[in-house]
Each structure stands twice: as C-alpha cells, then as structure tokens.
Structure 1
C-alpha cells in the first residue's frame, strides 16, 4: 500500500457502490417529535483495484482488517442525509467490519442505531390516532456525486 492514493479508485466510469441494509430492530415511533428509531446493519461494497493483492493462500480469499485502517483508503463517504442521529454500536468495541478481498473488493459493515423523521401522509392530524406516517432514510454520498 506504499503507492496507494486515497483519490477516487482508478476506474473508467464512476465507482459503483453496492449498499445493503438489514433491519435488526424497529424501536419507537414518536408521534410528538415525528421520528422513529431503528437498528440496522449497513453494508457497502465496492471495487478498488489499487487494493488488490497477491494471495498465497488458496483457502482464504480475504483479510479482515481493523476499522482504524478505514481512514487510510478511499471510501464513498456515505451519509444518512435525513437522520437526526446515527450512532455506531460499541459493545465493547465499535461494531464495524472491514474486509478486503484479494481482487480489491472492499466490504464495510456498520451496526448503527438511527433516529430519522416520519412525515404524515394524506389526512394529517385529522385522522389521529389512525393517521399514517411515512418513515424514510435517505442515503447518498456526502462528498461525491453520481459521476464520480
């Protein structure tokens, strides 16, 4: 990694980042503050050819890395744009998984507790307590656009 640069990974097109989100728990829905709490596993996968390595083991095709090394590589800088709060679980250490595959594929998984807004749908408060709310999480890169 001595020649590695944190600039965008070498790619002719934009870097495709695959995102998976698994809901572990839906906590409270607060009608007064119009928000909800959710625990999720938030995964991101992308390919960075600069991180590929020669694998001498036929049994293991990846390396599990310490999360502290994430600051050393390019990341998509993904953000839950509309969250009111997002916290990485730490029990007893930060719940972040960082796996590097020999072909340069990067897999990062965060275990998060998130508080995000819910909006009233048609009818508003007239239907309370039988109103309907739409609770959303908006995900995008905080510092990169879709062309990158």
Structure 2
C-alpha cells in the first residue's frame, strides 16, 4: 500500500502519540499456534473441521453455511463450543502479534475469536482490558495507560 509522504508522517505521528486505532483481521492470528501447536484455524479450515465432526462431506462451503447445516441437527451448541475452545483457547501468539503490542494504541478492534492477544505474556506498553463486542457495552477511552481490546465477532473467553 502506498501512502503519500504527508499521510505517512501523520500515521507515524498518530502511532507514536498513542492516538491510532489498530484493526486486526483473520490474518493477525494466522501465524499464531493453537494449544496443540498447530496453526490457528481460519474460516475454511474451521468449516471443514465442523463438517468432519458432524460426519458430513465438506465441499468448500463457507463457515456460515456449515454452521447452519450442523448446528442443532448434527452438533449441539455444547459440542460446537467444545470444538471452538479446543481450537481457540490457550493459543500461542506469533512474534508479529507480540511486536504489535509493544506499541501504544488508542484501541484495538479484532475480528479474531481466539485468545492470542490475551496470551501475550511479554511486558507490553499498556494495561489491557478485553471486551466481547457481541455482548459488552462500549467503554469510554481511559487514557493512554489502558488499551481496550474489542473482539468484534465474539471472544472465546466470554462466549455469548
């Protein structure tokens, strides 16, 4: 991605002052490992796993399609929750993700369901507070000392 020099300078200044927001997509966790030491599953690989656990063929359907097909009829919510917990709880964050949290952010929004950010043990620039964007109320900015991490698609540690 190309930035003109003025935009680049503004972005760097915003990051250095702790005024920038960070939005993380699925790619942010793709190099993290699950509790079994395997790469964290993204949508397609999770869809395949759910179809396999339901003993159904998988033909590249989307995660939404697979969940709609298996939930209730083939797998209970408890079974699905157990599968999700095994895949997304106790993850080992990637070095890249750890490096991102050495920076002071105004807030982080993540589309990731896993707990990679929560499992960063290395000293980070801020005290972190976690929110499940599906159920928790929005919180007011508390100043640069605190980092609000908002899981927009839900949070494995706070299932809705």
Q: Scaled by the length of structure 1, what TM-score is found? A: 0.27
Structure 1 or 2, whichever has the larger Rg, is 1
Q: Scaled by the length of structure 2, what TM-score is found? A: 0.25
Query: Relative to total residues, which structure has the larger helix share, 1 or 2?
Result: 2
